[in-house]
Chains A and B, each alone.
Chain A
Amino acid sequence: MASASASTDSGGGRSEMRLVDRCIDAAARGAATVEAWRRQRRSLERLPAQLADALLRRLAARRLLFPSLLEVFQHSVEEIDLSGHIAINAEWLAYLGSFRYLRVLKLADCKNVNSSAVWALSGMSTLKELDLSRCSKISDAGIKHIASIESLEKLHVSQTGLTDNGVMAISSLKNLHLLDLGGIRITDKAIRSLQVLTQLEHLDIWGSEITNEGASVLNAFTSLSFLNLSWTHVTCLPILPTMRCLNMSNCTIHSICSGDSKVFIHLEKFIISAASFGNINEVFSSILPSSLTYLDMSSCSLSNLYCLENMKNIEHLDLSYNRIINDAVEYVANIGMNLKFLSLSNSQVTSQALCVLAGTVPSLTTLSLAHTKVDDSALLYISMMPSLRTLNLSHTCIKGFVIENSVKILSISALEELKYLESLNLDDTQLTDDAIPPLVSFRALKYLFLKSDFLSDPALHALSSASNLIQLGFCGNILSSSGLLKFVPPAMLCVLDLSGCWILTGDAISAFCRCHPVIEVRHELMQELQTNSGGTSQLHKFRQPQQIKAYVAKSLASPGRLADICFVDERIKYSKEELMELQHLAKSNSLMHVVQLPPELRRSI
């Protein structure tokens, strides 16, 4: 595991790379280095499993693996993850089938693994976990081979070509703890045949044709703790006393504990996004209130939150896309003690709701109010949520100032109270340039998003002294080329997103990039600029992948597309002076006919 993470590290992590990781890296450098060691049979057989696993993983990631090379690992490797490798086919599986000690085999999304290919796996008596998720060519014929691997404890066959018959064959795998059948259209008949799997703890049957009748046999699984029934017709569940995590998104829920009203389920995680309810309060009354910590009720069309009463241990509460109004927020305030995540985005709440919440959510770290009618008066209340780290106020009515006794007061500075605020999203609000300076004094602020149509050069310049800023989104704003060049970025800044800043020229952006090679600038013109500059730009950790991307884009683009790119932006042809003139013109339309325009500009207007 450590070696895997080290491989993804770059730059700073490299100096701390251990010798073991350096060796794995060196062994998997290229096809030639592989040839240098692949005949060292004695060493390969002695290789400890965790080293063999890591080496194989690195070879796979670098696309250096091929079927006959697998053979050298057959006595050492215990875990293989080849998920997403399209090349994997029957030949690969023939080699994998002879692995002596393989415990875990993950082949998710390997589109060329079919029913006959998995025949090779049938005799693998050491295999405990097999992932064939989304291998759509696997059908009932294929699962028969799998059903003979009695050692299996975890089986993922979601979104494969299985039918009822195939799933019924799985009932021979008596040691299964986890069974993922998501997206397979199994019926009640199949679920009845699985009743013999009494060890099952985790069952995923989303998108199946299961009805209440099928659900009624679920209590045969006496250890079941995780159940995903989303997108099914199940409305009532039997009493499942061991259940801890239940997903019934997009279901109509009448009861999750039918029969005995006195029994409480110790449910910890309840995901009911886009669900509808018979009587929601009745559904919630079967949950032990103190057990629930995670509740996703997004898109449930709720207006009342009475069901939340006494759920004092909730940490994660998603109420987005509901019809919740301010009065309902009272219920959230009552259970706010342990709340860490709260989303009220796309609901009907206004600033008044924040007045109710202020002071009741001491542990709240993440709050989303996006797409609500919240305005500046809420900021003062938000500043009374001391643990807040991430705040999303995008698409709200925040202006950045309030008028009190005809005096303009900058309201945003109220948030300065939030000592831990790291991420602030003010995209598509009505902020103006003069509301920006208070943001500079937010000590912990690392991520700031200011997509807008109204902000201009002074707003960006004000942010020069935001000393801890790592990422700044300044999309869509009226930023001039000279404004960008005069901008002194904060020392820590890594990403500057200027997408949609339409006045900027390619020259200005490339000049800025030259001055600040450490900063990743995002803009529509960036790709074109990098293709033009080729490999001359400075070597920096994120620069290389970008160049590769640009290179790939270039090589993929058909001649027709390239021609498009050439004309993406006409402004690149003009000098800075001409553009400044244009910018000035945009502000005062009335003057347009008077001013002498260069012929190209006349055409574009």
Chain B
Amino acid sequence: MLGKGETPGHQNPPQHKDDDDDDAPHGVVKLISAEGFEFVVDKKAAMVSNTLRNMLTSPGGFSETREGEVRFPEISTPILEKICQYFYWSLHYSSGKETSEFQIEPEITLELMMAANYLDT
């Protein structure tokens, strides 16, 4: 996963050179849930979300992304975990490595729907 995550990392430096050191070597981003749980995911996976893609690629850079972490005070830990699973499932599905459907438990559909809407994914 980490190896793949480097690809977007290499693309980043020309866009914001000052925080080159923070972003490029890791190629990961930390997503923090409402309860403070931290999920470290490859940037490539995080960019399945258009909201995160904008944050990670915008020339100015959001203050959160410069520190390599994004806080989601509105998203609970189980939902954020499911979101992260979706990021990786989506990458594998589009590359053809994954063929099974993404399972969504009926109990979490509303919360997940809102989180997905916020993350534009």
Chain A residues with CB under 8 Å of chain B are 15, 18-20, 22-24, 26-27, 29, 32-33, 36-37, 40, 43-44, 46-48, 50-51, 55
- Do A23 and B106 contact each other (CB < 8 Å), given the known contacts A15-B94, A48-B117, A51-B113? no
What are 17 A-B contacts defined by CB distance under 8 Å? A15-B94, A18-B116, A18-B121, A19-B83, A19-B86, A19-B116, A19-B121, A20-B113, A24-B109, A27-B106, A36-B109, A37-B107, A37-B110, A43-B114, A47-B113, A50-B117, A51-B113
- Do A47 and B93 contact each other (CB < 8 Å), given the known contacts A19-B86, A36-B107? no
Closest A residue to B116 by CB, please name it.
A19
B84 to chain A, nearest CB (A): 12
B94 to chain A: which residues have CB within 8 Å?
15
Do B109 and A26 have beta carbons less than 8 Å apart? yes
Do B106 and A47 have beta carbons less than 8 Å apart? no
Give the complex CA separation of A33 and B116 in angstroms. 19
A235 to chain B, nearest CB (A): 55
8 Å CB contacts to A: which residues of B73-121?
83, 86, 90, 93-94, 102, 104-107, 109-114, 116-117, 119, 121
Do B117 and A40 have beta carbons less than 8 Å apart? no
A46 to chain B: which residues have CB within 8 Å?
114
Give the complex CA separation of A50 and B109 in angstroms. 15
Give the complex CA separation of A55 and B86 in angstroms. 20
A26 to chain B: which residues have CB within 8 Å?
104, 106, 109
Do B109 and A23 have beta carbons less than 8 Å apart? yes
Do B113 and A27 have beta carbons less than 8 Å apart? yes
Do A37 and B106 have beta carbons less than 8 Å apart? yes
B93 to chain A: which residues have CB within 8 Å?
15
Query: How many residues of B are counted as interface, with CB atoms below 8 angstroms from the partner's CB atoms?
Result: 20
Closest B residue to A43 by CB, please name it.
B110
Chain B residues with CB under 8 Å of chain A are 83, 86, 90, 93-94, 102, 104-107, 109-114, 116-117, 119, 121
Do B110 and A47 have beta carbons less than 8 Å apart? yes
B112 to chain A, nearest CB (A): 5
Do B106 and A33 have beta carbons less than 8 Å apart? yes
A61 to chain B, nearest CB (A): 16
Closest A residue to B102 by CB, please name it.
A22
Do B113 and A24 have beta carbons less than 8 Å apart? yes
Do A20 and B121 have beta carbons less than 8 Å apart? yes
Among B105, B111, B116, contact of A20 (Cβ-Cβ < 8 Å): B116
A47 to chain B: which residues have CB within 8 Å?
110, 113-114
List 3 A-B pairs, minimum CB-CB distance, nearest first: A36-B106, A23-B113, A33-B106
Do B117 and A51 have beta carbons less than 8 Å apart? yes
A37 to chain B: which residues have CB within 8 Å?
106-107, 109-110
Closest B residue to A19 by CB, please name it.
B116
Do B121 and A23 have beta carbons less than 8 Å apart? no
A485 to chain B, nearest CB (A): 34
Closest B residue to A46 by CB, please name it.
B114
Do B107 and A23 have beta carbons less than 8 Å apart? no
Give the complex CA separation of A51 and B117 in angstroms. 8
Q: Select the residue from B86, B93, B104 with max chain A CB neighbours within 10 A.
A: B104
Closest B residue to A32 by CB, please name it.
B106
Among A15, A22, A29, A40, contact of B110 (Cβ-Cβ < 8 Å): A40
- Do A48 and B114 contact each other (CB < 8 Å), given the known contacts A19-B86, A19-B121? yes
B110 to chain A: which residues have CB within 8 Å?
23, 27, 37, 40, 43-44, 47
Give the complex CA separation of A29 and B109 in angstroms. 11
5 other contacts beyond A19-B90, A40-B111, with CB at 8 A cut-off? A15-B93, A18-B121, A32-B106, A37-B107, A44-B110
